[in-house]
Amino acid sequence: MAGSAFFLFAVLFLLGCGNGYYRGPVSDHFDGSRFDNPWESMPNRFGDFLKWRLTAERGYWPEHVAVEPTLPPERVMGEELRVTYVGHATVLLQTQGLNILTDPIWSERASPFSFAGPKRVAAPGVRFEDLPPIDLVLVSHNHYDHLDLPTLARLHQAFNPLVLTPLGNDATIRSAVPDMRLRTLDWGQSFIFNEQVRLVLEPMQHWSARGLFDRLKALWGAFVIDAPGGAIYFLADAGYARHLSKDFVAKYGPPRLSLLPVGAYEPQWFMSYAHMNPAEAVQTFLDLGLGNAMGTQHEVFPMADEAYAAPRRELSQALQSRGIDESLFLLPKVGEWFTVPPR
């Protein structure tokens, strides 16, 4: 029962972090105490979790992978969009003179501890000291591989960015960085940044917890960066939900760029509610009306049972089987970057 994924899930079930995250009005996804996905409630999975760990067969992951970090420009102006895969769900988006980071993690482990938990096999694709001035940080939910407090503290000290995050996550962030610039959003709420870019929080099928007693106490969500040149969709960590993609297209049209997770999906009988596999990521890409896409959450942290090489292989197979040009759905190596034309 040893292993990084076991450790992480054990922490989620055995650490208590309290429940004082959020108080607000009842809605279709908040009952006054807990959040949930109104179209399909989060099942009670502790028994399934134990079954998974007793039967787990982890695929091969290397101990270390060489990374050639990139040096991004200080700013990218106008409608040009430069995208850099820093690693896991951390992506540097540069457009309109703004530098935006998604779910930043520069820590060695995706864990509440520095000495145990899932350990990165690839260094960040941009050295922290080489980051351009960061204006805006998007934090999608409170799992340790997405809400990394040491990294947020470093970003605050270096750049003092504004952090946008779903309801309730501000309590966790302020516990470590009391004076961080923060704004919380509910599903459907938006925020205008620098008069040019509108940020919207949309639903995604996932869940939240950092310990035993805070399950579903903070909200999760997908971010839309509605900017000149077309909308960017950051679907951070989610199970497949076709209706949400259709809702996106109805509101924004096909996205200029979708950031879609392709890792942490095995065993699928346990993971599928909250983690799509590469084939489902391709189906999401189709549901969104094509455009351009990039896979995330691959080749950095061993979070589940699939092998290191599996997401790249299975994504290629899924694209070929659907007759999709692989240049439309990129899976960059850590540290690689590319540009995306306007819609």
State the pLDDT at residue 46: 61
- Strands 230-234 and 257-261 turn out to be parallel
State the pLDDT at residue 56: 66
Distance CA(128)–CA(143), nearest Å, equals 21
Report residue 208 CA to chain centroid gap.
12
State the pLDDT at residue 53: 58
State the pLDDT at residue 113: 85
Q: What is the pTM of this model?
A: 0.93
Q: Are residues 134 and 151 in contact, defined by beta-carbon separation less than 8 angstroms?
A: no
What confidence tens digit (pLDDT) does each residue in 49-76 have?
Answer: 666 555 767 899 999 999 999 999 999 9
Task: Report in angstroms the alpha-carbon separations of 236 from 39, 43, 119.
Answer: 19, 20, 20
Distance CA(216)–CA(237), nearest Å, equals 15
> Who's near 170: CB < 8 A, 6+ residues apart?
182, 184
Burial class (CB in 10 A: 0-12, 13-18, 19+), 98: buried
DSSP string, 102-149: ES---SSBSSSSSSSS-B-SB--SS-GGGPPPP-EEE----STTTS-H
Structure tokens at 137: 């940080």
State the pLDDT at residue 115: 87
State the pLDDT at residue 2: 38
State the pLDDT at residue 45: 65
Low-confidence ranges of the chain (pLDDT < 70): 1-19, 45-54, 56
- Strands 136-138 and 162-166 turn out to be parallel
